[in-house]
Amino acid sequence: MQTRTLGMSGLKVSALGLGCMGMSWSYGPPKDKAEMISLLRAAVERGVTFFDTAEVYGPYCNEELLGEALAPFRGQVVIATKFGWAPATESEAQGRWNALNSRPEHIKQVVEGSLKRLRVEVIDLYYQHRVDPNVPIEEVAGTVRELIEAGKVKHFGLSEAGAGTIRRAHAVQPVTALQSEYSLWYREPEQEILPTLEELGIGFVPFSPLGKGFLTGAINENTQFDSTDFRSTVPRFTEENRKANQALVDLLGEIAQQKNATPAQIALAWLLAKKPWIVPIPGTTKLARLEENLGAVGVRLTADDLDQIEKAASNIAIQGARYPAEMEKKSGL
C-alpha cells in the first residue's frame, strides 16, 4: 500500500483510508460486530493504516468497535475521530444527535470518552464534525491546541468547513486535514476549498468518495433502501434522480473498461490523481468491496484521462440535493 502525507503536518497514512460509519450506523441496521472486527483487521493486513470514526456514529459504539478491533495494532495505525454534536434531549427520539456543540468545556469533556472508547492515550486526528455557528472557530482551535499541548490529541482537523473558517482556525492551531464530501458527483470543493488547502498546506480527506455507494454501479433506480438507511431520505437518491444520475455511472463504466478496472476504482483513482495530499476514505462492510477499493491505488490515470473524465462529467447535470434540507443547513459550507 502506498502512503501519503496529509498536508505539511507530517501525518503519514495509507493512500486510501477506511470510513467506518456504516459498520454501526446510518447505512441500514448495525452490522455484526465480530464480522466488522474481522474486516477492520483484514484492512490492516492489506496495508490500510487510516481509519475514520466519530462519537456520534452509533452513538459511541463505532468508536468502541474500532477500539477493540485495532487494539493489537497500536502505533501502526492512525485513528481519526470527531467532536461537535450533543445528544438530543430526552423528549426526543433515542439515538438522535441534533444539536451542534463545540463549546470548549464540551470538547474537553467528550475527548475523554473518545480516548476511553478507542483504547488509546492520544487521538491521532481530532476533527470538529461540523462548524458550530454559536462558537467562534478561534475558540475551538484554541481548545484543541490545549488538548495537543496536554498530550491528548496529535492533530487538528475540520469537517465541511468553508474557506474563511479554515483560515481562521489555521491561524490559531495549524489544521492538518479537512474532511468534506468530494467525488465526481459532488465537486463543489474545487471552487474554493482545494486552492485554500493547497495554499495553507492542509491535507484533504474526501468522505463519500463513491457517492454513498452510487458510483460503484451497485445501485440503480430499482434499488430499495431499508428504512434505517439514511439514503432513503436523501433527495439525490429518489428513484427519479437515481435514474437521471445513472449517466455518471455509465461514464465511469466506459473508462473502467478501458483501464481494466471497475467504476468504483476509477472514481477513487480520479481523486487520488487530483492531488498527492488527497486521501479518500471509502466505507464498506464487505471484504470483497474493501479489496476492490484498495485496487484503485494501482489504477493509473494520465492527465489526458483526467481531462477526458472531467469534460464528460461536466456535461452531466447531477440531480437532487446531497442531503435533506435540514442537514444541508448544518453542512458548514
Per the CB < 8 A criterion, the answer to whether 309 and 61 are in contact is no
Closest listed residue to residue 1, CA positions, set 40, 44, 63, 36: 44
**Phi/psi of residue 283, each to 5°?**
-105, 155
Rounded Cα distance between 333 and 328, Å, is 9
Q: How many C-beta neighbours within 10 Å does residue 209 have?
A: 30
Per the CB < 8 A criterion, the answer to whether 162 and 192 are in contact is yes
CA angle 109, 121, 25 (to 5 degrees): 65
Rounded Cα distance between 98 and 200, Å, is 32
The DSSP H or E segment spanning 285 is none
57 is annotated as an active-site residue:
yes
Rounded Cα distance between 161 and 245, Å, is 26
Closest listed residue to residue 55, CA positions, set 125, 141, 117, 143: 117
Choosing from 57, 126, 127, 182, the catalytic residue is 57
Enzyme catalytic residues:
57
